[in-house]
Structure 1
Amino acid sequence: MFVDKARIFVKAGKGGDGSASFRKEKYVPAGGPDGGDGGDGGDLIFEVDAGLRTLMDFRYKRTYIAEDGENGKGKKMFGKDAKDLILRVPPGTIVRDEKTNLIIADLTDSGQRAIIAKGGKGGKGNVHFTTATRQAPNFAESGGHPEERWVILELKLLADVGLVGFPNVGKSTILSIATSAKPKIANYHFTTITPNLGVVEIDKKSFVLADIPGLIEGAHEGIGLGLEFLRHVERTKLLIHVVDVSGIEGRDPLEDFNKINDELRHYDQRLAKKPQIVAANKIDLLSDTENFDKFKKAIEEQGYEVFPLSAATKEGIEQLLRYVANRLDEIQEEPIYEEEETFKYYKLDEQEKNQIIVRRENDYYVVEGKPVEKLMYSTNLSDMDSLRYFQNFLRKRGIVDELKALGIHDGDTVKIYDFEFEYYD
């Protein structure tokens, strides 16, 4: 099964907690702090695997979580960093953040990697919290929070040339003749429901040819299979527009040609501007050349090259492919996206990471934010030094001032995640 779109949840590993430990050695009655740092959580990484062709693996498993870092230990023993979780994807995969719709990574080259979710940093052990007045800190830092997000994976085929046109005009047959690909071929509409790829070799040159499933009117609005497959045209350098010039089904080839180009134009103006060659197929079914001559003249007036051929008899196909191979040498590859979009990789804003929210909710006051949450779970509430460290943090970050601005009074309740405190100035 060809799967070219997937929605998955990814989460990196949490950082390991620092250790609040003290030396316990023979003949050392009052050993100092020796808690080691926690290890870093594993990153969640996507890597291009040239052997993959679909996103099938992500159809059945949709949640991926990297390992947490190991907690620190006594004797200044650091916790191990967790292994990164590497997910392999086919070339041509675009990763988008679902929340912002911004591109996180555009993965095209074999072995290319991108960190999609960054693991949390390991927490510091209590050896880092000694001061001149605090010789034996009985607390340590908890591990850092990992990044997590829902992402959308989109696969856009990496083909040099795309075959486009209405259903049943002969695209699959042309692909099967030009390459070793074996697409499903039959005489009914929408035969091809998945893109097919093949490699063309001619005159010691080669290129990848893709049979894009047949488009219909309204494809750019999602009618039929349009939106699912129009994106596969985006990465091609050149289009071969296949048209049935025989009119055997009662269709006007010129009208069909214009309709397909309208669909490309409506989907993305850049698609309509791609170099395009017209393959006038099924000339073996013409009783005379009058209709073909009219069609050729109209197409050439629009600035396109026309190649008459018959996929059934293989007439004209070699000439078409030779022309395409030479034309590809002249085409300069262009980026798929506008430059400002291509390289605007989405990452959790540093301001968002460090943001602290203080608000009033009914009869109590709420303090939230990643820095506060991390501190809260690092605080030893039964230890006076740890509580002082916690209170100093609240003052230095301006949280106490914000509470006062909201009208807090002595005895009011402050809620910080799972903990509640009575406020006293």
Structure 2
Amino acid sequence: MKFVDEAYIDIAAGDGGNGCVSFRHEKYKEFGGPNGGDGGRGGHVFAVADPNLNTLVDFRFSRRHEAKRGQHGMGSDMFGAMGDDVTLKMPVGTIITDAETGDVLYELLKPGEVIMIAKGGDGGFGNMRFKSAINRAPRQKTPGWPGEKKELKLELKVLADVGLLGMPNAGKSTLIAAISNARPKIADYPFTTLHPNLGVVRVGPEQSFVVADVPGLIEGASDGAGLGHLFLRHLQRTRLLLHIIDFAPFDEAVDPVAQAKAIVGELKKYDKALYDKPRWLVLNKLDMVPAEEREARVKDFIKRFKYKGPVFEISALTREGCEPLIKTIFQHIKAQQVQEQEPVYIDPRFVEEPPP
């Protein structure tokens, strides 16, 4: 399935049905009185977060979505039927904005969450609504109200706890395949990853977190080079970034420190908030470095890169060092989740004081 993370749609809720002017016409009922019913409400347009979807491709080729209008009122006190609602299934993490103003209207952040994005128009009143002691034969009615019409932009930002960041061929796809249930395409050429991949990492019973792998960044990405800048939005909701470094590049002339600094620079240009997220350094492909040289090369890298945060030495191919990395990530995410929980307010009037 093609991955699409942006789409534009036009939606229209149904108009309300018109009210009816009618009078009772029965034998031996000379003055039967008004019996015109109200019009039916127009259909609403809903958006529902479907956890089984991971792309907006359905909206790329189906742009117009319109609910049914309400039925007009009828005689014999009959109200019009309501118009059928329209429900649009969207991936979890979809942001719905006004296409003209750019204002964010809604966000679908929880599986199964339902939001009304366009309200159907109310039905008009029939003449039975206008009957009174001084107006026994009203001929007034009101038309139905129009339904809401909007032009919307849909933008998908995947929900993940950890995001993988790095140059093409740094081993991000190999790492997510080694630690999670994701099975991305892996090959020995750059830009193998063309769209984000999500994987669930199982740490223990009822203990897991979600990892997102996006296409690799290259220098100049903020100016449009490569593919990575198109998908950096998917890292904006993560709690932690793992900066994957190719510690044993095929070309000996390539300096891993220069590549790492280029990634950090592009991240800062793209989004300062993303740059300020917790970011850990993961030195990958250690299996391709001679054992007697590893310690010295790691120290030299950290010294030249001027990095003071957590550093992990791994080999995604052989899974060396992956287990400590997974456990440390889970503890970090768990601590953040505890901090994000809102404190429960307890009224001091209902707190029992301990006996003296």
Corresponding position of 2:83: 82
Corresponding position of 1:5: 6
The structure 1 segments of at least 4 consecutive aligned residues displaced by more than 4 Å after TM superposition are 130-135, 332-335
Structure 2: 5+ residue stretches without partners:
341-356
Trace 1:68-147 onto structure 2 (pairs within 5 A): 68-130=69-131, 135-147=136-148
Q: How far does the alpha carbon of each residue in 1:142-169 deviate from its partner, in whole angstroms, 9 at most, with x for none? A: 1101111111111111111111111110
Contact 1:218 1:226 (8 Å CA) reproduced: no
Trace 1:350-389 onto structure 2 (pairs within 5 A): none
Task: Specify whether residues 36 and 253 from structure 1 end up closer, same or farther in structure 2 by C-alpha distance, changes over 3 A only.
Answer: same
Corresponding position of 1:266: 269
Contact 2:14 2:120 (8 Å CA) reproduced: yes
Q: How far does the alpha carbon of each residue in 1:308-349 deviate from its partner, in whole angstroms, 9 at most, with x for none? A: 1122222212221121111111225899xxxxxxxxxxxxxx
Corresponding position of 2:179: 178
The Cα of 1:133 is off from its aligned counterpart by 6.4
Match of 2:319 among 266, 290, 314: 314
The Cα of 1:171 is off from its aligned counterpart by 0.3
The Cα of 1:62 is off from its aligned counterpart by 1.1
Corresponding position of 2:197: 196
Contact 1:44 1:66 (8 Å CA) reproduced: yes
Look up the equivalent residue of 1:291 and give its one-letter code: R
Could you say which structure has the larger radius of gyration? 1
Q: TM-score, normalised by structure 2?
A: 0.88
Task: Specify whether residues 106 and 334 from structure 1 end up closer, same or farther in structure 2 by C-alpha distance, changes over 3 A only.
Answer: farther
Deviates more, 1:104-113 or 1:260-269: 260-269
2:283 pairs with 1:280: yes
Q: Distance in 1 between matches of 2:42 and 2:181?
A: 46
Q: Distance in 2 between matches of 1:270 and 1:150?
A: 29
Q: How far does the alpha carbon of each residue in 1:161-192 deviate from its partner, in whole angstroms, 9 at most, with x for none? A: 11111111000001111112110001111110
Corresponding position of 2:28: 27
Look up the equivalent residue of 1:269 and give its one-letter code: K
Q: Distance in 2 between matches of 1:209 and 1:153?
A: 23
Task: Specify whether residues 59 and 334 from structure 1 end up closer, same or farther in structure 2 by C-alpha distance, changes over 3 A only.
Answer: farther
Look up the equivalent residue of 2:93 and give its one-letter code: G
Q: Distance in 2 between matches of 1:115 and 1:223?
A: 39
Contact 1:98 1:151 (8 Å CA) reproduced: yes
The Cα of 1:247 is off from its aligned counterpart by 3.7
The Cα of 1:134 is off from its aligned counterpart by 5.0
Q: Distance in 1 between matches of 2:248 and 2:299?
A: 12
Deviates more, 1:191-200 or 1:244-253: 244-253
Partner SS, residue 8 of structure 2? strand
Match of 2:303 among 290, 297, 314: 297
Partner SS, residue 154 of structure 2? strand
Q: Distance in 1 between matches of 2:259 and 2:16?
A: 59
Q: How far does the alpha carbon of each residue in 1:28-76 deviate from its partner, in whole angstroms, 9 at most, with x for none? A: 2233222111111111000111111211221221111111111111122
Look up the equivalent residue of 2:330 and give its one-letter code: A
CA RMSD, 1 decimal? 2.0
Structure 1: 5+ residue stretches without partners:
336-425
Match of 1:246 among 237, 245, 248: 248
Look up the equivalent residue of 1:126 and give its one-letter code: N
Matched residue count:
334
Partner SS, residue 248 of structure 1? coil
Partner SS, residue 239 of structure 1? strand
Q: TM-score, normalised by structure 1?
A: 0.74
Contact 2:123 2:145 (8 Å CA) reproduced: yes
